Chains A and B, each alone.
Chain A
Amino acid sequence: MTPRSFEYFSPSSVRQCTSLLKRYGSRAKILAGGMSLIPVMKLRLASPAYLIDINGISGLDSLRQSGGSLRIGAMTRHHELETSRLVRRSAPLLAETASWIGDPQVRNRGTIGGSLAHSDPSGDLGAALLALRGEVRTKSASKERVISADDLFLDTFTSALGGNELLVEVRVPVLKPKSGWSYQKLERKSGDFATVGVATQISLDDGGNCVYAGIGLTAVGPTNVRARKAESALVGRPLDERTIVEAAEAASGDASPTMDPLRGSIEYKREMTKVFCRRGLTLALERAKRR
């Protein structure tokens, strides 16, 4: 279908953008990659009266390491996350997660900022951000603020961003020594949304004990979900097959899937959360041991 008519702006600076957001508020939507928004508009599930295209604002796609953080501009495309040497070295979970999003054409346009702001419970990057305990920086006409991953996803397609806020940057901790990661995605077919997705990030001490566990889930809740019970089952204990199985069991309890006529029953999704959490932790452990 054709989208409803809208007025289109293409600001060339963040300030121009936040002024427009201040004027039009919730009647406006930001257009970044458009890979979620435009299909939604074509189905007329959303018909914003004003579209603010931020592709023309330079400087929103910078990518750099600063201290212990990787600072990722909101307009960084998924393709860049997937292929950048810097991202693959310092936040390999993001690179691997991005490689599972959509397809190559979608990854050429889709952005990390857009994906996180969209807050699709089936969004892959949200799970990775939770596992990394990352944060986003936002700007409005009057202030800047930082929102941690745990506070970002309020409800289905509802982020903590106010109607006049632009997400400008994502920050994640740089990969520490003796750390491992994995993004596991069960999909019905190539390019599909997840049936279940599991993002894991773990760190070990010299004795092989788990000192950090971040586990984020995709498509098994009203938002991306942090698997806190699974994390608690690991931290402070040796990371081995036994504890991994326990954590995976706990993860299926952290999930709160709803019945999805396309992708599976509640029982199926809970069981697959367990299976893919186990696979993800096993791979993350292997990777941690190699470092």
Chain B
Amino acid sequence: MPVKVRINGSPYEAKVEPRLLLVDFIRDVAGLTGTHVGCDTSNCGACTVLVDGESVKSCTIFTVQADGAKVETVEGLSKDGKLHPVQKAFRENHGLQCGFCTPGMMMQASWLLREQPNPTEAEIRVGLSGNLCRCTGYVNIVKSVQQAAREMRR
């Protein structure tokens, strides 16, 4: 079926099978490999992107469902070479080790901070509960989101 998906502002058109997952369209058709496939069981959140402003696990949605939709991936966070406050905060707070979960964490954080611009630590932890990290123990991830929240409220 033909689909047209706007990713980070650019249109991507292709003929796809209905069963093609959005994450595979993003990675293999659009060539944007920042979004990762972690678990294949909809648990880990490494595939998190925004579809029409809502954070979703792109491994659990078919590309045809996103036909005509606006998708945002990690590649779209920085604008004109300038890091997004979330990216800057993860960098400055050592919010990653291997980096595999990080694009999903940052996309989910960007959604969370739109919904709740001033979250408590508990609210951050709940807000990121769909994103698993095997490296860090989450402490610096939470600090990163707290810094990003402060910056984005300015």
Footprint of B on A, CB under 8 Å?
1-8, 10, 31, 34-35, 38-39, 41-42, 51, 53, 55, 102-106, 108-109, 190-191
Assess the A106–B57 pair: CB atoms within 8 A: yes
Assess the A109–B56 pair: CB atoms within 8 A: yes
Assess the B60–A8 pair: CB atoms within 8 A: no
From 92 to 134 in chain B, residues with beta carbon under 8 angstroms from any chain A beta carbon are: 108, 111-112, 126-130
Contact of B130 among A5, A38, A102 (CB under 8 A): A102
Assess the A109–B127 pair: CB atoms within 8 A: no
Assess the B112–A104 pair: CB atoms within 8 A: yes
Assess the B54–A108 pair: CB atoms within 8 A: yes
Assess the A106–B130 pair: CB atoms within 8 A: yes
Chain B contacts for A104, CB-based, 8 A: 55, 108, 111-112, 126-130
Assess the A190–B62 pair: CB atoms within 8 A: no
The 8 closest A-B pairs by CB, nearest first: A103-B130, A8-B18, A105-B130, A108-B54, A3-B19, A190-B129, A38-B60, A103-B129
Assess the A191–B19 pair: CB atoms within 8 A: no
| Binary contact track B44-72/A, C-beta < 8 Å → 1, others 0 | 01001000001111001110110000000
Pick from B26-34, B35-43, B73-81 the stretch touching chain A: B35-43
| Minimal Cβ-Cβ distance residue in A for B58 | A105
For the A-B complex with A39-B60, A105-B57 known, give 10 more contacts whose Cβ atoms are closer than 8 Å. A6-B19, A7-B18, A8-B1, A10-B64, A53-B65, A106-B42, A106-B57, A108-B56, A109-B61, A191-B130
Footprint of A on B, CB under 8 Å?
1, 17-19, 40-43, 45, 48, 54-57, 60-62, 64-65, 108, 111-112, 126-130
C-alpha gap A102/B42 in the complex (Å): 10
Chain A contacts for B61, CB-based, 8 A: 34, 38, 109
C-alpha gap A35/B55 in the complex (Å): 13
Assess the B60–A34 pair: CB atoms within 8 A: yes
Chain B contacts for A8, CB-based, 8 A: 1, 18, 62, 64
Contact of B40 among A42, A108, A190 (CB under 8 A): A42
Assess the A191–B129 pair: CB atoms within 8 A: yes
Assess the A105–B48 pair: CB atoms within 8 A: yes
Contact of A105 among B1, B55, B65 (CB under 8 A): B55
Assess the B45–A103 pair: CB atoms within 8 A: yes
Nearest-CB distance from B149 to chain A (Å)? 16
C-alpha gap A212/B149 in the complex (Å): 45
Given A2-B19, A5-B17: A191 in contact with B65 (beta carbons within 8 A) = no
C-alpha gap A38/B59 in the complex (Å): 9
Q: List 22 A-B contacts (CB under 8 A).
A: A1-B40, A2-B19, A5-B17, A7-B18, A8-B1, A34-B62, A38-B60, A39-B42, A51-B18, A55-B65, A103-B45, A103-B129, A104-B55, A104-B108, A104-B111, A105-B56, A105-B57, A105-B108, A105-B130, A108-B54, A109-B60, A191-B129
Chain B contacts for A34, CB-based, 8 A: 60-62, 65
| Minimal Cβ-Cβ distance residue in B for A56 | B65
Given A7-B18, A191-B129: A35 in contact with B65 (beta carbons within 8 A) = no
Chain B contacts for A106, CB-based, 8 A: 42, 57, 130
Nearest-CB distance from B73 to chain A (Å)? 14
| Minimal Cβ-Cβ distance residue in B for A192 | B43
C-alpha gap A8/B61 in the complex (Å): 13
Chain B contacts for A39, CB-based, 8 A: 41-42, 60
Chain A contacts for B111, CB-based, 8 A: 104
Assess the B19–A35 pair: CB atoms within 8 A: no
C-alpha gap A3/B61 in the complex (Å): 12
C-alpha gap A3/B40 in the complex (Å): 11
C-alpha gap A102/B17 in the complex (Å): 28
Chain A contacts for B43, CB-based, 8 A: 191
* Candidate in B41, B48, B61 with the most chain A CB atoms within 10 angstroms: B61
Chain B contacts for A55, CB-based, 8 A: 65
Chain A contacts for B57, CB-based, 8 A: 105-106
C-alpha gap A106/B131 in the complex (Å): 11
Chain B contacts for A10, CB-based, 8 A: 64
Nearest-CB distance from B83 to chain A (Å)? 24
